[in-house]
Amino acid sequence: MSEVGLKDLLQAGVHFGHQTHRWNPKMRKYIFAERGGIYLIDLKKTLRELNRACDLVNEVVRGGGNVLFVCTKPQLKGPVRAEAERAGAFYVTERWLGGMLTNFQTMKKNIRRLKDLERGTEEGAFEFYTKKERLLLDRERGKLERYLSGIKDMTRLPGLVFVVDANKEDIAVREANRLGIPVVAIADTNANPDMLTIAIAGNDDAIRSVSLITGVIVDEILMARREAPEAAAAQDEGTAFTYSSDVGGAEAAVGSKRKRPKRRPRPELIKRRLHASDPEAGSPEVELAEVVELVEAVELVEAVELVEETISVESDSEPAIEEIVEIAEAVSTTAETDTGEDGEKKDPGSP
């Protein structure tokens, strides 16, 4: 941070506040005295908060975040824009569009539209348009350029918002608070410090005062960007990565060949699926008979697989397919019985 002392703040007129009848009682702790109907700000507390703001800016920038400068006052937007461009930061100096942060997806569409219009103008894509169409496109591009030129390259939300005059930019402050973005602002005696992460008490109307404080923040951004690559390189050198596996190769191979459990047939689901696939199906009795036959066929196949596995385990020789089918039919016939209309169980092979 550039060395700024109480003398520099005093010469820039940072200590001048608003008139006594235009004040916020919550700013009482930052007021030093009252002289000639105006409040004088305690510059010791201003310098303390300025140092805290520089530490926060340094932390955000070194963490990969960006800083958004917001100042729409006519007499101050020029110096603020110049300082933001010097730092390569984003800025809003014309009018804060509602939802610029909370509705950032729509803002990105407008930024994309602005870039398309600029590209078309550079490439001469609008030469064959009519005069009225070219005029409308120029007006649209000028309007978008006026409001979005400072955030044209902002692809994500900023990591910190620096505001000049928190009272005038209350919409920006509220949007940042809703999204949890830190807010650093130059707060005059009529501001509400509870809405700000760090309130730098000072004169937010004088050009020298705002230029001094904004210049200190910009110098901190530039210094943090110079330190960021060195810090990242040191972190990479001091970090060692080791590879380890909790599962051995044999256990992983066994786990990959794990058998999938068999699914048992459910007649009600099969019936529902058949009915859904064939809207002109016959009577329910015919459908139920088809379902029963399908279930019996599935169970017969499963019985054949079970018998084949059992025989292959007990003997090394390969059994004949006729023996397997006979045993499977016997197992399925003895294991399943149907219930008649009178409630007695009977053999499924009987009439």
pLDDT in tens, the chain (351 residues): 567 888 889 888 898 988 888 888 999 999 988 888 889 999 999 999 999 999 999 999 998 899 999 999 999 989 999 999 999 999 999 999 989 999 999 999 999 999 999 898 888 888 888 999 999 999 999 999 999 989 998 989 999 999 999 999 999 999 999 999 999 999 999 999 999 999 999 998 999 999 999 999 999 999 998 887 665 555 444 443 333 344 444 444 444 556 666 666 677 767 677 666 555 545 555 455 665 666 666 666 666 566 566 555 455 555 555 665 566 566 555 555 444 444 444 444 444
Q: 208 with 12: CB under 8 angstroms?
A: yes
- Give 311-320's long-range contacts (Cβ < 8 A, gap of 24+): none
Contacts of 256 (CB under 8 A, 6+ apart): none
Q: CA nearest 32: which of 157, 201, 212, 170?
A: 201
Residue 279 lies in a domain: yes
Residues 18 and 165 in one domain: yes
- Alpha carbon distance 339, 346 (integer Å): 6
Residues 88 and 163 in one domain: yes
Q: 89 with 158: CB under 8 angstroms?
A: no
- Alpha carbon distance 333, 329 (integer Å): 6
107: three-class secondary structure by DSSP: helix
- Alpha carbon distance 48, 57 (integer Å): 14
Instruction: Match 């949007």 to its residue by tokens.
Output: 175
Residue 128 lies in a domain: no
Which residue blocks in the chain are alpha helix, DSSP H?
6-11, 43-62, 77-87, 104-123, 131-148, 170-179, 207-238, 249-256, 267-277, 284-314, 321-335
Amino acid letter for position 332: S
Residues 205 and 295 in one domain: no
CA 26: distance to chain centroid?
Answer: 35
For the record, the structure tokens of 328 come out as: 């499977």
Residues 225 and 275 in one domain: no
* Phi-psi group of 188: left, alpha or beta (phi > 0 → left; psi -120 to 50 → alpha; rest → beta): beta
Q: Which domain range does residue 21 map to?
A: 6-101+157-229
| pTM value > 0.85 | no
- End-of-domain residue from the set 229, 251, 285: 229
Residues 323 and 224 in one domain: no
Q: 189 with 195: CB under 8 angstroms?
A: no
Residue 118 lies in a domain: no
Residue 71 lies in a domain: yes
